[in-house]
Structure 1
Amino acid sequence: MIGKVASATIKPVAGFTRGFSYPLRAAKFLSKRPGLLRYLAIPFAINVLVFSISVYYGLDLFQGLLETYAPNTEVWYGAALYYLAWTVAMLLTSVVVFFTFTVVGNLIASPFNELLSEHVEALKVGRKPDERFSVGRFWKEAKNSIFVEIKKMSVFIICMVLLLGINLIPGVGSMIYAVLAPMFTLFFLVVEYMAFVLMRKQLTFTQQRRYITKRPVLMIGYGCGIFCLLTIPFVQFFCIPLAVVGATLLWCDFPREASE
């Protein structure tokens, strides 16, 4: 079955739909294998803690800025300005929390997510993965993992700043930004979550990029599925493990080809 899926040529719409379905396939996969839920307990607790801290300090920071630069007054336009500034602050807080939750949560929970990915692959394929995960190996490679996360986040920030610069171009700037910014965000999500499988397979960054870019429609669908989960309140707590399981199932259905 896996070989047939991997070798089949998938049409664009079907590819997007299949990619989008992998986080949902992950939920179904876990529901039928309750023994895997023990690997979700610690990542779930970490996700809740990171998300709560991010929201608390984010709101506290913006509340202080608003009270300083946009104090609420009895004048009607003062109140309107205050609530407008608060709306903008909430949007900015949501963006900060979104990426803090994604990057920091992934980094802290990565040993458990790799362990989860290993067991999912073993059950899906029916054999033990070639490269087994161990906590000792994780701590040995922790510095490299942190460096990789910092590098990815730095690249993301630089690219987003450049995109904001494009947004300032009169006329077409806003339209270009409206297309490129969501696409780049989806690409970032795909790279972030597929890395749990691809790095465990010891693929270099170039090999990971080739694997992802060779299946663009499938990966865009997968990224959209993750993004939708992250926008649903409380569901985002389960998003990281679902994304990891979904990425593992995707790899099992579409393994790396020899030509890659």
Structure 2
Amino acid sequence: MDSNINYLVRGFKMLREPGIRPFVILPLLVNVLIFGGLMTLGFELIGGGIAAILAWLPEWLSFLSWILWPLAVVLVLAIAMYSFSTLANIIAAPFNGLLAEKVEEKLTGKEVEARESFASALASFPRSIWREVQKLGYYLSFALLVLLLSFIPFISPFSGVLWFLLGAWMLSLEYCDYAMDNRGLSFKESKRRIKAARGSTLPFGIMVMAGTMVPIVNLLIMPAAVCGGTILWVEKLQSGQTTNV
């Protein structure tokens, strides 16, 4: 498997590591509760969302409806799954940071002075929330642009793809950032490094985004993505001299 897309797979494998498993429990529990409760609502809304999108389609493009059905499904799922992931990440952020810390220590054999324990993770909750608010603001600035593009006739049929790619980019930023936050790097520096390595980080985000849409897999996706993003940090982002490949 191409090294640029197997980080999530390696993240799933790390969940079984003896020194990692205890720190997976809380992020996993948060994800199960969030996705379990909201997935049902999301899928109920898909039918109405698709109907609304197709009703907006100009009559002269009605022959494209058979193409727009799958695109509409991708659009609704991309927005819903990213929204659910955002909520889960806000709640679980301190514990995701702790998990990233333990994964990095496992990979490098060196201690990371960050959250250290569940108690210190809880104490860091306000700082973690502020970091997540910064990510949300960054997302909303691009979401507004994609929303405006969705109203342009020749672009709107492909808006589902744009929303998917935006969600994938944000998830790559989300899950690669925990290790950098542990190291005290600013969100601006985190974005710079992730952009510089987007040949690796974007495929990782696409894999995570796709995983959020797969039942059962999406319940495990958050801790696996934290592990995968931390592997990416250790192997490609830590030096700060990454290149697009």
Fold shared, TM-score > 0.5 on shorter chain: yes
Q: Which residue of 1 aligns with 2:28?
A: 44
Q: Which residue of 2 aligns with 1:146?
A: 129
Range moving further from structure 2, 148-157 or 185-194:
148-157
Question: Given that residues 54 and 97 in structure 1 are in contact (C-alpha distance below 8 angstroms), is that contact kept between their aligned partners in structure 2?
Answer: no
Summarize the Cα distance change of 1:106–1:158 in structure 2 as closer, same or farther, 3 Å threshold: same
- Following the alignment from structure 2 to structure 1, what is the Cα–Cα distance between the partners of residues 160 and 41? 29
Code of the residue aligned with 2:34 in structure 1: it is V
- Following the alignment from structure 1 to structure 2, what is the Cα–Cα distance between the partners of residues 175 and 56? 26
Task: Give deviations 1:173-217, integer Å, cap 9, x for gaps.
Answer: 347746644332221111111121111111112211111111110
Indicate yes or no: 2:25 matched with 1:25: no
Equivalent in 74, 87, 103 of residue 104 of structure 1: 87
Query: Within 5 Å, which residues of 2 pair with 1:112-123?
Result: 112-123=95-106
Question: Given that residues 30 and 91 in structure 2 are in contact (C-alpha distance below 8 angstroms), is that contact kept between their aligned partners in structure 1?
Answer: yes
Task: Give deviations 1:99-133, integer Å, cap 9, x for gaps.
Answer: 23211211222222222222211121112124453
The structure with the larger Rg is 1
- Following the alignment from structure 2 to structure 1, what is the Cα–Cα distance between the partners of residues 92 and 33? 11
Residue identity over aligned pairs, in percent, reads 26
Task: Give deviations 1:210-241, integer Å, cap 9, x for gaps.
Answer: 11111110111211221222121111111011
- Following the alignment from structure 2 to structure 1, what is the Cα–Cα distance between the partners of residues 240 and 35? 40
Q: CA deviation at 1:37?
A: 1.6
Query: Within 5 Å, which residues of 2 pair with 1:237-256?
Result: 237-256=219-238
Q: Which residue of 1 aligns with 2:58?
A: none
Q: CA deviation at 1:136?
A: 4.9
Summarize the Cα distance change of 1:208–1:155 in structure 2 as closer, same or farther, 3 Å threshold: closer
- Following the alignment from structure 1 to structure 2, what is the Cα–Cα distance between the partners of residues 46 and 27? 17
Query: Within 5 Å, which residues of 2 pair with 1:50-69?
Result: 50-58=34-42, 62=45
TM-score, normalised relative to structure 1 = 0.71
- Following the alignment from structure 2 to structure 1, what is the Cα–Cα distance between the partners of residues 84 and 144? 20
Which of the pair has the greater relative contact order for Cα pairs under 8 Å at 6+ separation?
1
SS class of match (1:221): helix
Q: Which residue of 2 aligns with 1:81?
A: none
TM-score, normalised relative to structure 2 = 0.75
Equivalenced residue count is: 222
Range moving further from structure 2, 45-54 or 141-150:
141-150
Equivalent in 142, 148, 156 of residue 165 of structure 1: 148
Question: Given that residues 118 and 132 in structure 1 are in contact (C-alpha distance below 8 angstroms), is that contact kept between their aligned partners in structure 2?
Answer: yes
Question: Given that residues 194 and 244 in structure 1 are in contact (C-alpha distance below 8 angstroms), is that contact kept between their aligned partners in structure 2?
Answer: yes
Question: Given that residues 198 and 208 in structure 1 are in contact (C-alpha distance below 8 angstroms), is that contact kept between their aligned partners in structure 2?
Answer: yes
Q: Which runs of 4+ in 1 moved over 6 A?
A: 87-93
Question: Given that residues 189 and 226 in structure 1 are in contact (C-alpha distance below 8 angstroms), is that contact kept between their aligned partners in structure 2?
Answer: yes
Q: CA deviation at 1:153?
A: 2.2
Query: Within 5 Å, which residues of 2 pair with 1:211-226?
Result: 211-226=193-208
Q: Which residue of 2 aligns with 1:79?
A: none
Question: Given that residues 19 and 225 in structure 1 are in contact (C-alpha distance below 8 angstroms), is that contact kept between their aligned partners in structure 2?
Answer: no
**What is the root-mean-square deviation of aligned Cα atoms in Å?**
3.3
SS class of match (1:18): coil
- Following the alignment from structure 2 to structure 1, what is the Cα–Cα distance between the partners of residues 224 and 132? 20
Task: Give deviations 1:31-69, integer Å, cap 9, x for gaps.
Answer: 3x2342222222222111111222345567x59x89xx9
Question: Given that residues 169 and 202 in structure 2 are in contact (C-alpha distance below 8 angstroms), is that contact kept between their aligned partners in structure 1?
Answer: yes
- Following the alignment from structure 2 to structure 1, what is the Cα–Cα distance between the partners of residues 149 and 141? 13
